Amino acid sequence: MNNFNRFQGKVAFVQGGSRGIGAAIVERLALEGASVAFTYVSSDSKAKTLADHLISKGGKVIAIKADSTKPEDVRNAIEQTIHQFEQLDILINNSGVLVWDNIENLTMDDWEKTVNTNVRSIFVASQEAAKRMNNNGRIINISSTNAQRIPFVGGALYGMSKAALTGLVKALSRDLGHRGITVNNILPGPVDTDLNPDNGDTSESMKAIVALGRYGQAEEIAHLVAFIASDEASYITGADLMIDGGFSA
C-alpha cells in the first residue's frame, strides 16, 4: 500500500466506480487504506480488472453490479457493502449520464434517464447512507462545472440535473451536520476519460476555454475527493468545490 493510510479502518462506497473518474477515486481510497465497494452497470471486465488489481496490492475491494437508475439496486448495494465491511464512513456519488442536445430535440425519455441517474440515484444513495453511516462521515457528489457555467448550446437538461445537486447538498449539510457528517459537491471541468477524451471532436474548443489550456486527469479529481473525504476537511460542508482548470474563470 502507501505511506499515508489516512483511511485505514474506513469503509467507502463509490456509486459508479469501474472507469474514468470513479475508478481513480476507488484506487486512491483503496491505496490509502479504505475498504472500498464500488458499483458498475455493464463494464464487467473493467470492474473485475480494477478490483483484482487493487486486491493484488493488498486492498480490500469489492465490485457490485447495480443499476443506479433503480432505487432498489442502490439500496441493496449499500446493504451489501455494510454486510461485507460492517460499517459505512464515506459515500461517493459518481454515477451520471450526459445527454446534450438543443432543448427542442430533447425527449421525456432523455429527461427520465438524466434525472433518474444524475439526481434521483444521488438522493437515494444519500438517504440510505445517512441511515447507516457512522458519525463524522462524508458524502461527496461528483457534479460538474456545468452546474454553474454552460458556454455551449445544448446543456439545458444536463446543467439542470447538476445544478439540482447544489440545493440537495446545502440541505443535507443542515440535516446531517449535527452528526458531524459533511456533504459536498465536487465540480470537475473537462477531464480526459474514455467518454470525453482530450483528443475528441470537441476537445480543442473545450481547451480554448480552460485557463490552463488542457483537460484534467481523473487522478487530479481523485486527489480532491481524497482530501474532502479525510479528517483534514472536517469543517468543509455544503460547498460546491470547483476543479476545472479555470474553465469557469
225, containing H or E segment:
helix 218-229
Candidates 40, 158, 215, 235; catalytic one: 158
Closest by CA to 141, choosing from 160, 158, 165, 163, is 165
Residue 83 CB-density burial (10 A; 0-12 exposed, 13-18 middle, 19+ buried): exposed
Helix (H) or strand (E) segment spanning residue 93: strand 90-93
3-state secondary structure of 46: helix
CB 183 within 8 A of CB 172: yes
Give the span between the Cα atoms of 154 and 231, in whole angstroms: 39
Helix (H, G, I), strand (E, B) or coil at 6: coil
What is the SS3 assignment for 149?
Answer: coil
Cell triple for residue 175? 440535516
**235: annotated active-site residue:** no
Q: By C-alpha distance, which of 127, 126, 119, 61 is closest to 95?
A: 119
DSSP letter, residue 133: P
DSSP 3-state percent helix, strand, coil across the chain (nearest 5): 45, 15, 35
Q: Which are the catalytic amino acids? A: 158
